[in-house]
């Protein structure tokens, strides 16, 4: 049996807590007070917030029901391209929850914090080894903050050379955070067009690179899931004019232990621990975007930095050229523990194998779906592949319809309408943690949807009918969020 998971069963409606309670209900039973009431009481009951009166079971059912509305990587395949929504082994959660880690206070004296400092130090070394870079900061709280850190490092470097520069080159396939980070740091982003293969062209970079350009930001593999084959040549062009190369490492899941990023010409790059290194992400939860740099950029890294001498670990602010602090204390420490635990439990050989499997799975999907959906660039891909709705257009079926119908087959939709360089993009990233059977089910669901697009497009136009909510006005939801119900 190889049916898609589908969706069925019982999903409860759930009102707001304010609509549920009844005066006098209570979730605790404390003994009667045997001391006089304190003035605090009137402060709390007078103009206190309008909290509903609820019993314990009211609260438990409320939150349990809400949790069942959620779809996560623990419930099913989540092929959201550019996000690496892979399964995060639970052991890494357990390690992060150990009392010594989650109770560690950031102001503990160094003598009592040797264990946590050691973990941070070793994690920096592991990330340096995995990327081929020289030094690492663990401070940034996200990939995008890593990008900003990188831009600040570039600005500090050029200032130290006595020649500040104004522009940053960014390919048109880049994630939106790339130009935003450059602009936030005061640089003017300069776009370059991808070539007919979806790759960065050395000629196009050469045409815009000048001595007022601080550097280039490159995502490799890029957001089309393609390896930038001319990366070294592009880096040489930028370096020849005194510029630096920043690597957006969000797609590291394709190349762990396979590509030495320093050798490809990167001067700085970030990793998204919440994508590649086993932290669940989405919903705005904490993330981590360590930045790895070459020896030349090390003096500018944020402070404090973890140092080791003779087996003792210390934190040092003594780096006069540092760009300063990016985050309170040392970044999102709990995320660092998960990454450390993931790297240690996988080991070098398995990290490499994870990337190989991620690439194999994406190529398998690409090959099996390429006659059914239009493949934007028909060449070997890395960890994700990008289709479009070009073949379905004739039946007035769009990428959005396909994505919504997929929910009725029990799958989270892929990334849609990104990257912008592909009209009607459907970007699929299966990751290494999906087995062959689940990937086959996904492929069969996509094939069934393509047949429906021809035979009964109304099914797609009406989708999704089964999930809790149907088509939302996403623009309105983003512009005017209604958070109070
Ligand atoms: C996710 C992503 C980012 C941004 O990373 P955050 O951690 O979400 O800030 C940047 N570039 C690419 C290619 C990405 O996929």
Torsion of CA 64, 273, 366, 200, to 10 degrees: 140
Q: Where are the domains of the chain?
A: 91-346, 355-479
Compute the distance from residue 415 Cα to the ligand 1 centre, in Å. Answer: 13
- Give me the pLDDT at residue 2, please: 56
Cβ of 139 closer than 6 Å to ligand 1, yes or no, is no
Per the structure block, which two tokens stand in for 366? 């690409």
Matching CATH number, 91-346, of 3.40.120.10, 3.90.76.10, 3.40.50.300, 3.40.640.10: 3.40.640.10
Q: What is the pLDDT of residue 366?
A: 98
The domain defined by 355-479 folds into 3.90.1150
Residues of the chain with pLDDT under 50: 1
Q: Is 272 in the pocket of ligand 1 (CB under 6 A)?
A: yes
Please work out whether the CB of residue 177 comes within 6 Å of at least one atom of ligand 1: yes
Q: What is residue 1's predicted lDDT score, i.e. its pLDDT?
A: 45
- Chain centre distance of CA 461: 30
Assess whether the C-beta atom of 82 lies below 6 angstroms from ligand 1: yes
The Å distance, Cα 218 to ligand 1 centre, comes to 12
pLDDT of residue 431: 97
SS3 104: coil
Please report how many Cα atoms fall inside a 13 Å half-sphere around the Cα of residue 161, on the Cβ side: 16
Q: What is the Å distance from ligand 1's center to 200 Cα? A: 19
CA of 420 to the centre of ligand 1 (A): 15
In short, whether 144's Cβ falls inside 6 Å of ligand 1 is: yes
Does ligand 1 have an atom closer than 6 angstroms to the CB of 248? Answer: yes
pLDDT at 352: 98
Looking up tokens 């995320």 gives 335
Fold match flag (91-346 vs 355-479): no
**Angstrom distance (rounded) from CA 32 to CA 11:** 40
pLDDT, residue 231, reads 97
Distance CA 17, CA 200 (A): 53
Inter-residue contact 316 to 298 (CB < 8 Å): no
């Amino acid at each position: 049996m190889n049916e898609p998971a589908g969706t069925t069963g019982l999903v409860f409606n759930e009102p707001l807590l304010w609509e549920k309670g009844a005066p006098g209900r209570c979730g605790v039973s404390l003994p009667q007070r045997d001391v006089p009431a304190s003035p605090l009481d009137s402060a709390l009951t007078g103009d206190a917030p309008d909290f509903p009166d609820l019993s314990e079971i009211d609260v438990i059912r409320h939150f349990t029901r809400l949790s069942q509305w959620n779809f996560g990587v623990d419930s099913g395949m989540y092929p959201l391209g550019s996000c690496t929504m892979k399964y995060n082994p639970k052991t890494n959660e357990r390690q992060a929850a150990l009392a010594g880690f989650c109770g560690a206070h950031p102001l503990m004296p160094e003598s009592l914090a040797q264990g946590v400092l050691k973990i941070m130090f070793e994690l920096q070394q592991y990330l340096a080894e995995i990327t081929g870079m020289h030094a690492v900061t663990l401070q940034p709280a996200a990939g995008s903050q890593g990008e900003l850190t990188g831009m600040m490092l570039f600005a500090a470097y050029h200032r130290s050379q006595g020649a500040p520069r104004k522009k940053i080159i960014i390919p048109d396939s880049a994630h939106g955070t790339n130009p935003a980070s450059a602009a936030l740091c005061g640089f003017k982003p300069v776009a370059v067009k991808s070539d007919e293969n979806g790759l960065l062209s050395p000629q196009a970079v050469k045409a815009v690179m000048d001595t007022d350009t601080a550097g280039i930001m490159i995502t490799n593999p890029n957001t089309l899931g393609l390896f930038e084959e001319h990366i070294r040549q592009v880096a040489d062009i930028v370096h020849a004019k005194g510029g630096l190369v920043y690597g957006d490492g969000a797609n590291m899941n394709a190349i762990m232990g396979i590509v030495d990023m320093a050798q490809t010409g990167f001067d700085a790059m970030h990793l998204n621990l919440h994508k590649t290194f086993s932290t669940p992400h989405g919903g705005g939860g904490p993330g981590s975007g360590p930045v790895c740099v070459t020896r030349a950029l090390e003096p500018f890294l944020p402070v404090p930095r973890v140092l080791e001498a003779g087996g003792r670990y210390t934190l040092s602010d003594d780096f006069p050229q540092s760009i300063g602090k990016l985050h309170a204390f040392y970044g999102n420490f709990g995320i660092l523990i998960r990454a450390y635990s993931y790297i240690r439990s996988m080991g070098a050989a398995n990290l490499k194998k994870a990337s190989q499997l991620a690439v194999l799975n994406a190529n398998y999907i690409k090959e099996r779906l390429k006659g059914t959906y239009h493949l934007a660039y028909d060449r070997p891909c890395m960890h994700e592949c990008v289709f479009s709705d070009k073949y379905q257009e004739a039946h007035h079926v769009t990428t959005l319809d396909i994505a919504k119908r997929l929910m009725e087959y029990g799958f989270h939709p892929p990334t849609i309408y990104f990257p912008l360089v592909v009209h009607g993009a459907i970007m699929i990233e299966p990751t290494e943690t999906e087995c062959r059977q689940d990937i086959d089910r996904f492929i069969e669901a996509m094939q069934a949807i393509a047949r429906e697009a021809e035979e009964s497009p109304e099914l797609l136009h009406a989708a999704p009918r089964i999930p809790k909510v149907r088509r939302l006005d996403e623009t309105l939801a983003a512009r005017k969020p209604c958070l109070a119900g």
